[in-house]
């Protein structure tokens, strides 16, 4: 083969190699969802080491950035706020504040897209509201660990368009009570305690 032939062959091999390195022969849908989840779900805080301590349920938010909004007026002053609002950009990963089992995936007028997770001892419900959507595959009955991605920050329900935040609530439960029957408890002290201790 002539020198020109070898040069042409080398160029063809290089171009073909470059093309193959940019091409995937697997499922595009699976690859895209992995990238989307990885991009929107940065690592969460480590799981708590002390009882009564929770993981901050919005990825990338520090305990010091959370304000206590318990009992602030809502509904034009007709009711108090029973939870802690954590502002974050829309689509930010929402993670489980504590281990448990998904008890209910629900959509309501006030909370919008919501998740209720019950603690393993059935004495607590952790409530996540105003979500943009759930992490792919999240289902009722599924066990989750503290810090596991479960959903995405949104503005659904009565949050108001563009008012992206997670409403995080807690209810003290009797083991036989249903997901909506608990007694509201201020989660702020347990979220503020999520700062690492040395």
Question: What are the boundaries of each domain within the chain?
Answer: 3-38, 41-192
Tens digit of each residue's pLDDT (9 = 90 or more) over 94-123: 999 999 999 999 999 889 999 999 999 999
Which pTM does this prediction carry? 0.70
* Least confident window among 68-77, 82-91, 183-192: 68-77
Confidence grade of residue 10 (pLDDT, cut at 50, 70, 90): low
Residue 58 has pLDDT above 90, yes or no: yes
Mean pLDDT of the chain: 77
Q: How would CATH label the architecture of 41-192? A: Distorted Sandwich (2.70)
At residue 170, the pLDDT reads 92
Query: SS in 3 state form for the chain?
Result: CCHHHHHHHHHHHHHHHHHHHCCCCCCHHHHHHHHHHHHHCCCCCCCCCCCCCCCCCECCCCHHHCCCCCCCEECCCCEECCCEEEECCCCCEEECCCCEEEEEEEEECCCEEEEEEECCCCCEEEEEEEEEEECCCCCCCCEECCCCEEEEEECCHHHCCCCCEEEEEEEECCCCCCCCCCEEECCHHHHHCCCCCC
At residue 40, the pLDDT reads 39
Residue 149 has pLDDT above 80, yes or no: yes
């Amino acid at each position: 083969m002539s020198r020109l032939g070898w040069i042409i062959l080398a160029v063809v091999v290089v171009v073909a190699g470059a093309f193959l390195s940019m091409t995937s022969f697997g499922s595009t849908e699976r690859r895209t969802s992995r990238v989307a989840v990885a991009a929107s779900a940065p690592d969460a805080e480590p799981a708590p080491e002390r009882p009564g301590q929770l993981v901050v349920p919005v990825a990338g938010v520090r305990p010091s950035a959370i304000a206590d909004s318990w009992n602030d007026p809502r509904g034009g002053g007709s009711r108090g706020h029973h939870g802690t609002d954590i502002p974050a950009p829309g689509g930010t990963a929402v993670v489980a504040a504590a281990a448990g089992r998904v008890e209910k995936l629900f959509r309501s007028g006030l909370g919008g897209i919501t998740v209720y997770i019950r603690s393993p001892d059935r004495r607590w419900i952790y409530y996540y509201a105003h979500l943009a959507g759930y992490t792919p595959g999240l289902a009722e009955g599924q066990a989750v660990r503290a810090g596991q991605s479960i959903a995405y920050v949104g503005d659904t329900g009565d949050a108001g368009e563009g008012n992206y935040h997670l409403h995080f609530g807690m209810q003290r439960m009797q083991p036989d009570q249903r997901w909506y029957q608990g007694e509201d408890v201020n989660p702020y002290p347990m979220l503020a305690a999520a700062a690492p201790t040395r």
